[in-house]
Amino acid sequence: MKPDFDPVALAIPFFVLAIVLEIVLARMGRAKANYEVRDTAASLALGLGSNVAGLLIGGLTFAAAVWAYEHRLFTIPMTSVWVWGLLFLAEDLTYYWFHRISHERRFWWAAHVNHHSSQHYNLSTALRQTWTGGVSGTWLLWLPLSFLGFPPAMVAIQKGISLVYQFWIHTEAIGKMPAWFEAVFNTPSHHRVHHARNPRYLDRNYAGVLIVWDRLFGTFEPERAQEPCRYGLVKNIASFNPLRVAFHEWAGIAADLRRARSPREAVGYLFGRPGWSPDGSRETSLDIRARWEAAQPAAPEPPADFAGRVTP
């Protein structure tokens, strides 16, 4: 069940035209973009499948939101501009934490990993959406908004607006936006970092619309010209089959649970960081970053002034 006004549905023709434009401009050598046929097909098939999955579970999630709203703390009018502004901030903050948990805990990573499974970064990658997000229950994170008193339809519309915003940032065709825009909003540059698997860039820039959340919570990393983004997963997937892309991490979890020797290990495999293992034989993103940082040449000593004090 969806509200009558669905920003995502309305934006689909724009998505299609934008991808056409990106491909044609890249073909003409006027824009930076790479498309591999099977990769593109997989991304778009995952987008279609995500729509179907959304239809299957949409009724449940909307009913839950309605239930929360019926027990709301406040009655918030849908017609005030300030309410939309407040909801924009609250929804975007919710998205930040949803996105962060989707990267930092394996159970939710299993639902999100498919979005990062392409070694390409183009507008079709934006549509490489989850099939199992509903099952993983991340939609529960948005229920407090309805419990606070934001009408469920309003929350659904704001979520849609956020999703539509995040489409255009999946491109290499746009370099940097003006500095003030880069400071406040999520941009192609910031989101390229998010999709990169360079150790420096791992688990950074979780923002939906406002990059300020990453700056606030210490997860911001700027894109560096001297370190081009390498896209995809730390362990890239060797398939374009949408079924394998959508479910491979779930299969990995199942295999690990079968070999777990204690409840503690089972919990670790399920809710530890992706890459967690009881004996530390695998690497999490923290391990990879630490190993990479240890291998970096030491920074030059800061210069000392005449008094011998070290200046920053």
Residue number with CB closer to other proteins (224 or 291) = 291
**Residue 114 binding other proteins, by CB under 8 A:** no
Q: In the bound complex, what is the minimum distance in angstroms from residue 35's beta carbon to other proteins?
A: 4
Q: How many residues would you count in the chain?
A: 312
Tell me how far, at minimum, the Cβ of 225 lies from other proteins, in Å.
Answer: 18
**Part of the chain binding other proteins (CB under 8 A), chosen from 71-79, 213-221, 227-235, 303-311:** 227-235
Residue 310 per-residue DSSP state: B
Nearer to other proteins, 23 or 141 (CB): 23
Taking alpha carbons only, the member of 107, 125, 108, 106 closest to residue 116 is 125
Piece of 142-150, 181-189, 241-249, 269-277 that binds other proteins (CB under 8 A):
241-249
27 binds other proteins (CB under 8 A): yes
Site for other proteins in 54-73 (CB under 8 A): 55
Q: What are phi and psi of 19, to 5 degrees?
A: -65, -45
Which of 76, 155, 209, 237 binds other proteins (CB under 8 A)? It is 237
Number of residues that bind other proteins (CB under 8 A): 46
Nearest to 236 by CA among 131, 113, 125: 113
Residue 138 and residue 98 in contact, taking contact as beta carbons nearer than 8 Å: yes
Rounded-to-integer distance, Cα 256 and Cα 276, Å? 11
| One of 3, 7, 23, 270 touching other proteins (CB under 8 A) | 23
Instruction: State the residue for tokens 């290990």.
Output: 265
Which of 217, 244, 275, 278 forms a contact with other proteins (CB under 8 A)? 244
Facing residues of 196 across strands?
231
Q: Which residue has the tokens 């070290």?
A: 310
108 binds other proteins (CB under 8 A): no
The SS3 assignment for 96 reads: helix
- Contact letters (x/-) for other proteins, 253-292, by CB under 8 A? --x-----------------------------------xx
3-state secondary structure 154-168: HHHHHHHHHHHHCCC
Q: Which stretch binds other proteins (CB under 8 A): 47-55, 82-90, 151-159, 263-271?
A: 47-55
Least distance from other proteins to the Cβ atom of residue 128, Å: 12
Residue 242 CA to residue 221 CA, distance in Å, equals 31
Q: Could you give the CA distance from residue 46 to residue 40 in angstroms, rounded to a whole number?
A: 10
C-alpha span between 278 and 266 (Å, rounded)? 9
Q: Which residues bind other proteins (CB under 8 A)?
A: 9, 12, 16, 19-20, 23-24, 26-27, 33-41, 44-45, 47-48, 51-52, 55, 119-120, 124, 199, 232-233, 235-240, 244, 248-249, 251-252, 255, 291-292, 295
